Amino acid sequence: MRALILLITLTICISTQAQSLNGWLMYFGNTQIKESKFSIHHELQLRDYKIIGDHNQTLIRVGGQYQFKPYFQATLGYGFIHTELEGTPNNPFAEHRIYQEGVFSHGILSSRLRHRIRLEERFIENQDFRGRFRYCLFADIPLNAKQFDKNGVYLALYDEIFLNISDDTSIKTFDRNRAYAGLGYKLKQNLGLQLGYMRQHVGSNSGTNHLMLSMHQKMNWK
């Protein structure tokens, strides 16, 4: 309970003191299909150029997953992304995205590590088709005796690199990099919250700062 209060308090403090931050509100869900190795990933992200206000993106992602091994899971999915430019006019445009990914998981002492490799086929409104390769290393490090059980508190870290795949020579290979650190709290065995900070570098542009609040949920479809 103390960790939950800390998360809420930290969110309020940062929101009032750091208006230059971008704000991302996210939900990540996974529904297990009965006792099988199949599951469904469902995700919603709301991204703003400010903590609240000046909408940047709405991202909806859904995918079918299969657990080949205890340490390896693969996903085939689809994403819809609505994007608006900063300020006015916002000139909105849409993107349809197909993706394939594999996640390798393992532990080091009491910590959990995941390696995610993702390929994306991107169909962006009024743009030529392009692809993208992404690699992300996640690390979850428990901070109390509960570890990843109910009332567990943990440190969440990740770094992800994005590389463009295109025949257009004007599109550079390096797309962006995201580095993240956050504090996680398990409300229940299958439900957790994370509050974190991300530094993002897009192309050769200056880095941007992001405050991120996310919910992570696992369910069973009986």
Tens of pLDDT, residue by residue over 115-159, are 999 999 999 999 999 999 999 999 999 999 888 899 999 999 999
CATH number at residue 11: 2.40.160.40
The pLDDT > 70 percentage for the chain reads 91
* pTM score of the predicted model: 0.89
Q: Which of helix, strand or coil describes residue 16?
A: helix
Mean pLDDT for the stretch of residues 61-79: 98
pLDDT tens per residue across span 177-220: 999 999 999 999 999 999 999 999 998 888 899 999 999 999 99
Length of the chain: 222
- Positive or negative: CA dihedral 148, 76, 131, 95: negative
Please provide the average confidence, as pLDDT, over all residues in the chain: 91
Q: Which domain holds residue 8?
A: 2-221
Structural domain count of the chain = 1
CB contact at 8 A, 203 and 175: yes
pLDDT tens per residue across span 163-172: 999 888 889 9
Q: What gap in Å lies between CA 168 and CA 58, rounded to an integer?
A: 27
Cα 221 to Cα 10, 65, 78, 80, 196, distances in angstroms: 35, 14, 21, 24, 30
Q: Which of helix, strand or coil describes residue 204?
A: coil
Mean pLDDT for the stretch of residues 26-43: 96
Cα 152 to Cα 42, 146, 147, 189, distances in angstroms: 24, 5, 5, 9
Q: What gap in Å lies between CA 56 and CA 43, rounded to an integer?
A: 17
